[in-house]
A and B are shown apart, each in its own frame.
Chain A
Amino acid sequence: MSNEGTPRIQLATNDLTLRYGSYLAVESLNLSVNEGEIYGFLGRNGAGKTSTIRMIMGISKPDLGTITFAGKTLSRIGNHEKRSIGYVSQEQYFYPWMSCRRIGNFVGGLYPTWDDTEFTRLLAAFDLPPQRRISHLSGGMRVKLALALAISHRPPILILDEPTAGLDPVARREFLDIIRSQAERYQRTTFFSSHLIDEVERVANRVGIIHRGKMQFEGTLQTLRATVRQIAAPQDPLVVDAVRALPLQYLRSGLEDSQTWLLQGLPEVWQEAEKLGVYGESISLEDAFIALASEPVVPV
Chain B
Amino acid sequence: MRMIRTLLLKELSQHGWLFLALLPFCTFGFLMTLAVGQMSEAGSPLEAARLFGTSLLLLVEVVLCNRLVVQEFTGKTQLFLEGLPISRVGLIATKYGLGLAVVLLMLAFCLGSSLIVASREEIISRRFVAILSVRLGVFAYCTYAFFFMMGLLGRYRIVLYLLAIMIVTVVSRTTNFDFELHGPLGLINSQFAFERNVFPTTTLLICGAVGMVFTIIALVMAVLREGTVASMLAERMSQREKLFVSAVMLGTIFTITTVQSKQTPDPYTILGAISSSGKGVSVYVERVTDDEQQIQEFADRVHRELVEVSEYLQIDGIPPLFIVHRSDLDADRYELADLENASGILVRVNFLSSEWSLEDFLPWLLDVCLSEATQFNAIREPQCWVLEGFVQYWNRRKTDPAVWSDTNKWDLRAAYGASLGISTDDITNWYSYRERVGAPIASAVACAGLVRAEQQYGAESLRRFLCEVLRSDLPRDSRALFTQWRRPVDVAWQDAFASDYQPQLAKWIDDLGVFEDQFAASIAEVPRVQATSEMNALSRTSYEVIVTAQMSPTSPEKTWTIQYESIDVVDLWTSDDQVTAQVIERTAGTSGTIKERFPFGSRLRWTVSVHSPILDCDVISGWNRQEVK
Which residues from chain A sit less than 8 Å from chain B, CB to CB?
A: 57, 59-61, 79-80, 82-83, 87, 89, 91-97, 102, 106-107, 109-112
Residues from 421 to 462 in B contacting A, C-beta threshold 8 Å: none
Shortest beta-carbon distance, A6 to chain B, in Å? 31
**Known: A89-B80, A93-B79. Is A106-B9 also a contact (CB below 8 A)?**
yes
**5 closest Cβ contacts across the A-B interface?**
A109-B6, A79-B85, A82-B85, A93-B80, A87-B83
For chain A, what secondary structure do more than half of its interface residues adopt (helix, strand, loop), or is it mixed? Answer: loop
Who on chain B is nearest to A92 by CB?
Answer: B80
Q: List 23 A-B contacts (CB under 8 A).
A: A59-B83, A59-B226, A60-B226, A61-B226, A79-B3, A79-B85, A80-B85, A82-B85, A89-B83, A91-B79, A93-B77, A93-B79, A93-B80, A95-B10, A95-B77, A96-B75, A97-B14, A106-B6, A106-B9, A107-B84, A109-B6, A110-B6, A110-B86
Q: In the complex, what residues of A have CB within 8 A of residue B86's CB?
A: 79, 110
Number of A-B contacts (CB under 8 A): 53
Contact A110 B85 (CB under 8 A): yes
Known: A92-B80, A93-B75. A102 touches B85 (CB 8 A): no
SS of B interface (majority): helix
Residues on A with C-beta less than 8 A from B14 are: 95, 97
Q: In the assembled complex, which residues on chain A have CB atoms less than 8 Å from the CB atom of B85?
A: 79-80, 82-83, 110-111
Q: In the complex, which residues of chain B have a beta carbon less than 8 angstroms from the beta carbon of A95?
A: 10, 14, 75, 77, 80
A97 to B5, CA, bound (A): 20
Are B80's CB and A94's CB within 8 A?
yes
Which A residue sits closest to B80, measured CB to CB? A93
> Considering the chains assembled together, what is the distance between the CA atoms of A57 and B226 in angstroms?
12
Q: Which of B77-128 contact A (CB under 8 A)?
A: 77-80, 82-87
Inter-chain contact B3/A110, CB cutoff 8 Å: yes
A96 and B75 CA atoms in complex are apart in Å by 9
0 or 1 for each of B1-15: is its CB under 8 Å from A? (1 = yes): 011011001100110
B13 touches A102 (CB 8 A): yes
B residues near A60, Cβ cutoff 8 Å = 226
Can you name the residue of chain A whose Cβ is closest to the Cβ of B72? A95
Question: Which residues on the B side are within 8 Å of A89 (C-beta)?
Answer: 79-80, 83
Question: Chain B contacts of A87 at CB under 8 A?
Answer: 83
CA distance A214 to B430 in the complex (A): 78
Nearest neighbor of A83 in chain B, beta-carbon distance? B85
Whole-angstrom distance between the Cβ of A134 and the nearest chain B Cβ: 10
Give CA–CA (A87, B14) in the complex, Å: 24
Which of B2, B5, B80 is in CB contact (< 8 Å) with A112? B2
- Of the listed residues A59, A102, A112, the one surrounded by the most CB atoms of chain B closer than 10 A to its CB is A59
When distances are taken between beta carbons in the complex, the residues of chain B under 8 Å from A109 are: 2, 5-6, 9
A110 in contact with B77 given A79-B3, A95-B14 (CB within 8 Å): no
Q: Which residues of A contact B13 (CB under 8 A)?
A: 102
B581 to nearest A CB, angstroms?
63
Chain A min CB distance to B279 (Å): 67
Q: B76 near A: Cβ within 8 Å?
A: yes
* Chain B residue with the shortest CB-CB distance to A61: B226
